Every structure is written in structure tokens, then in C-alpha cells.
Amino acid sequence: MIKIKPTPKELQQSFDFMIAYKEGDFGKNVLGVSTEEFFEFIRIGKLCEIVLINHLIQNKIKITAKELLIPCPDKHRKGPDFIIAHSNQEVDVKAANKSFHKRLLIRDDQFKAHIHDIYIGAKYIDDSGIEFWGYILGQDLKNTNSINFGHGTCKNILLSDLKPIELFIEKCKKGETIN
């Protein structure tokens, strides 16, 4: 697990994204949480994506993230958060954002809409720190059971059971396919 402190610019980008999302009336609150909490989920998820992408770029890992700061007007974004340039693998970052959250979760409806090559589990601590735990291949996640944690059935895996994020970064640096 690696812990990264977001920069003021990354915090502002995620806040601006949330405001654009809110003002554009994008997405749908399928979680059944308050509107305020829904938009905070959006901000935190985007912050985790931005921080990880910038970390990868600082490590000279080429990625494509054309729509990173563009809100998706659909219920689910079908495209990935980013694509690893050397392997053309699609990556989706999933953020746990409550102190008791210990799992990478993907709602079944979102998972079935589009299975990404790789899912990365992040744990938002607060605006001064995000933990990136590891990754799982979409095909491996496909074989896990779905559980309802209160907001619909989800594919899930404990953050501690993910393959280490350090391995992901190492393979990317070497230009290897993530497996």
C-alpha cells in the first residue's frame, strides 16, 4: 500500500469536477444517499483518480485519460478512468471513503455494463491522504460472489486481498502487461 498526499491543485480539480457534475445534473444517485453525500462521493472518487494518474505520470508511466475531468451525462461511464499506454489495458479506480470501508466495491449493474481490465482499490482517508492498496483483474473479479452491503449487490474484494499496488507500478514501469 502506498499513501499519497493530494496537492492543492488536485483538490481543486476534484472540487471543480464535482461542481460541474452538480450544475450539469449529471449521473444518477443510485446509492440512495443524500444529495450532499452523493456529490461528495463524486468528488472523492475523482480525487483518487487524479492523484493516482499524476503519481503514475511522475513515475514516467504513460497513460491516456482523455475524459478525466469531463462529467459523464449517462448513468454509468462505460469507458475507463484511464488506459495504460504500453498494454492498452483499461483501468477503473474505486474509492472506499468511510473509515469503516475495507473493500473495493463495484455495483453489479455498473460491472455488467462494462468490465474493465483492471480495478484499483483506493482508501480515501481525508484530503491530506489517500491509500492505494492494490489491484484485481476484471476477469478475476467476475468470478467473485456479489453481496448487498445496503446499496444494491456489488462485486467486492477486501482491499487487503488485492494484488499490491507496488506490483502494478513495477509492471507498468517495465512495460509489462498487468496480470
pLDDT tens digits for 24-79? Answer: 877 676 667 787 888 899 999 999 999 999 999 999 999 999 889 888 766 656 77
Alpha-carbon gap, residue 55 to 6, rounded angstroms: 10
pLDDT of 79 reads: 78
User: Residue 84 phi/psi, 5° resolution?
Assistant: -75, 120
One-letter amino acid at 148 equals N
Domain that holds residue 61: 2-174
Are the CB atoms for 86 and 73 separated by under 8 Å? no
pLDDT of 31 reads: 67
* pLDDT single digits (tens) 100-156: 789 999 989 889 988 999 999 999 999 999 999 999 999 999 999 999 987 789 999
- This model's pTM is above 0.95: no
Domain count, the chain: 1
Reduced to 3 states (helix: H, G, I; strand: E, B; else coil), residue 69 is coil
Are the CB atoms for 162 and 133 separated by under 8 Å? yes
Read off the DSSP letter of residue 154: E
Assess if residue 103 is contained within a domain: yes
Assess if residue 179 is contained within a domain: no
Closest CA to 81 of 71, 91, 96: 91
Are the CB atoms for 149 and 134 separated by under 8 Å? no
pLDDT of 29 reads: 66
